[in-house]
């Protein structure tokens, strides 16, 4: 699998998408604790960290560690992807609602 395929397939799965959207809608402007992201995505902490490490590999997030607490922030590229992913999600919701009305 090429890097482009790996990155594309990452966002076609539920958990990574939920984690990225959770960061975008976080109360602190894109900075959030990894444990909160795990809860929002209904995912284990270790799996969440694995996904976040992949995001970091592609420059979508950055980590700030303070003792045992790990805070995660979206980079500019991460904000762009999260914004587009949110738009796609909203569009799918609209399509689904239109389908129900027919």
**Average pLDDT score over residue span 67-79:** 90
56: confidence class by pLDDT, cuts 50, 70, 90: very high
Tokens linked to 40:
């929002």
CA dihedral 70, 19, 82, 69 (to 10 degrees): -10
Structural domain span for residue 29: 3-101
41: confidence class by pLDDT, cuts 50, 70, 90: very high
Instruction: Please work out, in degrees rounded to the nearest 5, the angle formed at the alpha carbon of residue 47 by the alpha carbons of 43 and 52.
Output: 105
Range of weakest confidence among 25-29, 35-39, 92-96 = 25-29
Here the CATH number for the domain that contains residue 9 is: 1.10.10.10
């Amino acid at each position: 699998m090429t890097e482009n395929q790996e990155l594309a397939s990452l966002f076609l799965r539920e958990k990574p998408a939920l984690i990225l959207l959770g960061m975008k809608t976080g109360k602190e402007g894109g900075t959030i604790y990894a444990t909160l992201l795990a809860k929002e995505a209904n995912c284990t902490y270790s799996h969440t960290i694995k996904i976040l490490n992949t995001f970091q590999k592609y420059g979508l997030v950055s980590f700030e560690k303070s003792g045992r607490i790990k805070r995660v922030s979206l980079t500019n590229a991460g904000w762009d992807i999260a914004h587009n992913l949110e738009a796609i999600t909203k569009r799918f919701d609209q399509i689904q609602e239109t389908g129900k009305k027919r």
